[in-house]
A and B are shown apart, each in its own frame.
Chain A
Amino acid sequence: MLATHAYLQHLIDAIASARARREPLQLRGGGTKEFYGGLPRGTLLDLRPLSGISSYEPTELVITALAGTPLATIEDELASRGQYLAFEPPRYAPGGTLGGMVAAGLSGPSRARLGCVRDYVLGATILNGRGELLSFGGQVMKNVAGYDVSRLMAGALGVLGVLCEVSLKVVPMPPVVRTLVFSHDEAAALGALAALNRQPLPVHAGAWFDGNLHLRLAGSEPAVASACERLGGYALDAAAAASWWDALRDQTHPFFTAPGHDLWRVSVPPTAPPITLPGTQFIDWGGGLRWWRTPAAAAMVRERAAAIGGHATCFRTRDAARDAFTPLADPLRRLHRELKLAFDPDGVLNPGRLYPEL
Chain B
Amino acid sequence: MTLSASAVQKPGEVAARESRRALLHAALARVLPADSILSDPEATAAYECDALSAYRVKPLVVALPSTEEQVAQVLATCHEHGAPVVARGGGTGLSGGALPHTDGVTLSLARLNRVLEIDPVACTATVQCGVRNLAISDAAAPYGLYYAPDPSSQLACTIGGNVAENSGGVHCLKYGLTIHNVLRVRGYTISGERIEFGSGALDAPGLDLLAIVLGSEGMLAVTTEVTVRLLPKPELARCILASFPTVEAAGHAVAQVIGAGIIPAGLELMDKRMTTVAEAYVHAGYDLSAAAILLCESDGTAIEVEDEIHRISELLTGCGANRIEVSRDEAQRLRFWSGRKNAFAASGQLSPDYMCMDSTIPRQRLAEMLRAIEAMEKRYGLPCVNVFHAGDGNLHPLILFNANEGDELHRCELFGADILETTVRLGGTITGEHGVGVEKLNSMCVQFSAEEREQMFAVKRAFDPTQLLNPGKVIPTLHRCAEYGKMHVRRGGLPFPELARF
Could you list which residues of chain A lie within 8 angstroms of chain B, going by C-beta atoms? 3, 57-62, 82, 105, 111-112, 115-116, 118-119, 128, 132-136, 138-149, 151-152, 154-156, 160, 171-173, 175, 194, 197-202, 219-223, 226-227, 267-271, 285, 288-289, 309-311, 313, 325-328, 331-332, 335-336, 338-339, 341-343, 354-355
Contact = CB atoms under 8 A, between A and B. Distances in A.
A308 to B, nearest CB: 9
A119 B176 contact: yes
Nearest 10 CB-CB pairings of A with B: A172-B261, A338-B462, A342-B458, A142-B432, A151-B211, A141-B392, A59-B255, A223-B304, A326-B205, A140-B360
Contacts of A152: 207-209, 211-212
Given A59-B259, A119-B180, A219-B304, A328 B166 contact: no
Contacts of B475: 146
Interface stretch (B71-79, B231-239, B276-284, B325-333): B231-239
Contact of A269 (B200, B301, B444, B448): B200
20 contacts: A59-B258, A60-B363, A118-B211, A134-B449, A138-B427, A140-B393, A142-B394, A143-B360, A145-B436, A145-B444, A172-B261, A172-B263, A220-B307, A222-B304, A223-B300, A289-B202, A310-B200, A332-B196, A343-B458, A354-B206
A142 B360 contact: yes
Nearest to B450: A132
B324 to A, nearest CB: 20
B216 interface: yes
B447 interface: yes
Contact of A140 (B214, B361, B434): B361
Interface stretch (B13-21, B54-62, B119-127, B130-138): B119-127
B362 A57 contact: yes
B207 A336 contact: yes
Given A105-B208, A145-B444, A151-B212, 5 more contacts: A140-B432, A145-B436, A146-B456, A269-B122, A327-B205
Interface string B227-257: 0000111110000000000000000000110
Category for how many chain B residues contact A: 35 or more
Given A145-B429, A148-B211, A223-B303, A116 B202 contact: yes
Contacts of B474: 146-147
Contacts of A202: 300, 304
A222 B259 CA distance: 20
A142 B172 contact: yes
B490 A135 contact: yes
A147 B493 CA distance: 23
Interface of B is mostly: loop
B234 A200 contact: yes
Contacts of A147: 212, 215-216, 220, 456, 459-460, 474
Contacts of A341: 462
Nearest to A328: B206
Contacts of A221: 307
B205 A148 contact: no
B80 interface: no
B463 interface: yes
A342 B123 CA distance: 37
Given A175-B261, A222-B303, A326-B205, A332 B360 contact: no
A194 B306 CA distance: 28
Contacts of B216: 147-148
Contacts of A336: 206-207
A3 B475 CA distance: 24
Interface in B308-337: 308
A343 B259 contact: no
A335 B435 CA distance: 24
B489 to A, nearest CB: 12
A89 to B, nearest CB: 14
B261 A145 contact: no
B431 interface: yes
B66 interface: no
Given A220-B307, A343-B455, A144 B435 contact: yes
B204 interface: yes
B203 A332 contact: no
Contacts of B259: 58-59
A144 B392 contact: no
Contact of B452 (A135, A197, A268, A271): A135
Interface string B92-126: 00000000000000000000000000011111000
